[in-house]
Amino acid sequence: MGQLLPVLKGEETLNYSGWFSDPEVAASYTMAQHNGSLATAKALFRRVSLDHVQRMLDVGGGSGAFSVTAVQRVPSLFATVLELPAVCAEGRRLTAAAGPAAARVEFRALDATEPTRWPVEEASQDLVLMSYLCGSIPEEALLPLYRNAFGALRPGGRLVVHDFMVEDSKDGPALGAYWALQHVTVNPQGLGLTPSGVAERLAAAGFEVLEQSDLIARMTKADGMGWDGSTDDPDCDRCMG
């Protein structure tokens, strides 16, 4: 937060890709987030059913805490974490502590801000998770990100977006707003997230809103999105293929 003013004045430019290019910084940050993310993951998967989920894609999954929690709950589930290279290295080390279940968590390098093809097969995933990701990337990267998720999901699959958000009325909660403000330091071109703002962009990528709910009180919300394999969009390569 001490760097917020120079960033807003355009005197300094920061981003997660540059910040985490230093392996020591990436390791320190990822390790610090791991334990807290394990607790949040347990809360999330009490809300989000993993029934019939065999393949899960954890985009910007950091330490792999959400993926580890998922594979521990479902012995037949395999998870792939897409993350920056230095973060992947630390994530592999941290998930190893999960024991045999860690063998079902794979890390692959990806910069989520780049609208490149993801290193997974089309229509191969039952669940795509984006936790603490959408508020950490530029707004212009959101729609390509959601379209990639749409392409990765099988018909009937689900995308879950979990992040710091404020209400659509933008009058609170204060804790969600403070966390969003903190992200401005490393993501000045980002979008201040609201449930309707996220849902609008997901709908543009082809999803239907299934559920919206609070997760961490006064701080985070989760949007569950799905699609039934049909679309009215004639330009949707995912569906035409």
Give the CATH number of the domain where residue 69 resides. 3.40.50.150
Q: Express each pLDDT in 81-140 by its tens digit.
A: 999 998 999 999 999 988 999 999 999 999 988 867 899 999 999 999 999 999 999 999
In a domain, 165, yes or no: yes
In a domain, 123, yes or no: yes
pTM given for the model: 0.88
* 142 or 28: which leads in pLDDT: 142
Q: What's the alpha-carbon Rg for the chain, to the nearest Å?
A: 17
**Which DSSP symbol is given to 157?**
E
Kindly provide the b/e burial profile for residues 109-136, where b requires at least 16 CB atoms within 10 angstroms of the residue's own CB.
ebbbbeeeebebeeeebbbbbbbbbbbb
pLDDT of residue 228: 57
Total count of domains within the chain: 1
In a domain, 222, yes or no: no
In a domain, 69, yes or no: yes
Spacing of C-alpha 165 from chain mean position: 14
Taking the C-alpha atoms of residue 116 and residue 112, their distance in angstroms, rounded to an integer, is 8
Confidence of residue 185 (pLDDT cuts 50, 70, 90): confident
127: closest CA among 13, 18, 210? 210
Q: Express each pLDDT in 125-161 by its tens digit.
A: 999 999 999 999 999 999 999 999 999 999 999 999 9
Range of the domain at 83: 11-93+105-169+197-209
